[in-house]
Amino acid sequence: MRYFDKTFFKFTFGFLIIIAISLLIIYAASAYAAGVEKIVFITEPQSIKPNTLSEPITVQTQDSNGDPYQTPETLDIQFISTSATPEFLNSAGQPATTYMSKNTANRTFYYRDSSEGNFKITINTRGRDSGTELSISQQIAISSGSSQNNNTNSSGEVLSASTENPLSSESATSGAVAPTYSTTGSQLEISAGGDRLTTPGSPISFQATIKKNSVANSAVSFSWSFGDGNVGEGALVSHIYKYPGEYAVVLNAKAGNTFAVARLKAKVVKPDISVSSKDGYIEITNNGSTEINLFNWKIEDRSEGFIFQPDTIILPHSSVCFDKNLLTMKGYDNSSGTMLKNNLGQIVFSADPVRKIDHNQISKDLDEIKQKFTIIQEKAKSLGLVQQNINPHIQLAAPISSEISLETDFVQMATDTENVIYEAPKQTGLISRLTNFIKGVFFK
């Protein structure tokens, strides 16, 4: 029995404990791996104004079937944004905590940024026990022209779809309230915003707002009809109208078997715009009563051009000036002068170039003509064809007076010459007159 002393039992007991702990760790890791497969955003991308708190942004841990799954361990969170001035906050506007509690599936935070642009926010998580790492990214747009409703109550929800291109401000909004239609019981209520005013070729954005949604476990889908034969999908869409007119924009929303409809009016007016090319700058004038957004429009001046950036807006009855140093894009075939094209490539304004008169060249040409005439005159004198009292000095101070002076001298010369009869043909130019005179003098 000496082989079964206390030391043996202590060793055996300790060994069993180690095995049990190892099995528990393996079981926990296996359970986590079999349960949490991914982390996803369950709120749509948003478009917000600078220095404004976003609507709630929520990420969720899910299993392989896409169903919510509570994390069996605490997750450490890393918040990342491609912006240089991001703020990840809680509902009180304080910095968000950088962890997700054990036995939870959702983590909500808010976003604020002072820089404008389209940015990507990334959420990285790491399990404290298992070391499992998960990551997810989503777009967010920061724009002063965002139609974000900062007065949305706590029961409302503003959704927006992501886009790769920066969103531009709409040309104008009337502020009118658009009608909405919902199913019986008003389980789903939406809004498409107020009536809009824009110009052909100017991008205009439309955003759906959920005013009420009591449909459980059903995502809301949105579809748009812009009234010109084109359609869109998503909560935040952008559209460009080609032609003036008044269009009915219809938004349809569906959650499960429940639907809702909202509509608004988009009025598209033809812009009244003019462009002047000055020394060192180009002046663009909006002569109409509607502001114009020049986003993605092109200005061309001879062989150089420039594409306007987002939210380049000209107010009604106002002018803006652009330095010609901005015209750094080469290769434009615009020898006709200055031209302004909208986002569709349609010419909104064009002007022929102002060609300057080269007075020096005109003076040289007149001097050359005077010299040739002097030679001809001296040759005629040597042949005795011209009397000595003919004025040898022809004043060529200006093109018009010079032509008159030459014509007078030629007529006088033909009158005073006995052997030559010369009559200047009607509706002939100065060179033709000189040629006919030479022929008359030397080839009679």
pLDDT digits (tens, 9 = 90+) for 125-170: 999 988 889 999 999 999 887 765 443 333 333 333 333 333 333 4
The third-level CATH classification (topology) of the domain covering 152-270 is: Immunoglobulin-like (2.60.40)
Confidence band, pLDDT 50/70/90 cuts, at residue 422? very low
Q: What is the pLDDT of residue 41?
A: 93
Report the DSSP pairing between strands 106-113 and 86-89.
antiparallel
Contact indicator for 63, 33 with CB cutoff of 8 Å: no
Residue 380's pLDDT band (cuts 50, 70, 90): confident
Please name the CATH architecture into which domain 36-142 falls.
Sandwich (2.60)
Question: What size, in residues, is the chain?
Answer: 444
Are the beta carbons of 141 and 47 closer than 8 angstroms? Answer: yes
Task: Report pLDDT digits (tens) over 6-58.
Answer: 676 677 777 788 888 877 766 655 554 457 889 999 998 999 999 888 999 99
Beta strand extents in 150-257 (DSSP E only): 157-158, 172-173, 180-182, 188-191, 196-198, 204-207, 209-213, 221-225, 231-233, 236-239, 245-255
- Considering only residues 438 and 183, tell me which one the structure prediction assigns the higher pLDDT: 438
For position 80, what pLDDT does the model report? 93
Higher pLDDT, 436 or 37: 37
Torsion of CA 90, 93, 94, 98, to 10 degrees: 30
Q: What is the distance between the alpha carbons of residues 285 and 315, in angstroms, rounded to a whole number?
A: 9
Distance set, CA 198 to CA 153, 298, 339 (Å) = 29, 18, 21
Of residues 203 and 303, the one with the higher pLDDT is 203
Topology adopted by domain 273-351 = Immunoglobulin-like (2.60.40)
Structure tokens at 25: 């760790």
Helix axes 430-442, 399-416, angle to 10 degrees: 20
Average pLDDT of the chain, as a whole number: 74
Kindly report, residue by residue over 198-223, the tens digit of the pLDDT.
888 888 889 988 888 877 667 888 99
At residue 21, φ and ψ (nearest 5 deg) are -65, -40
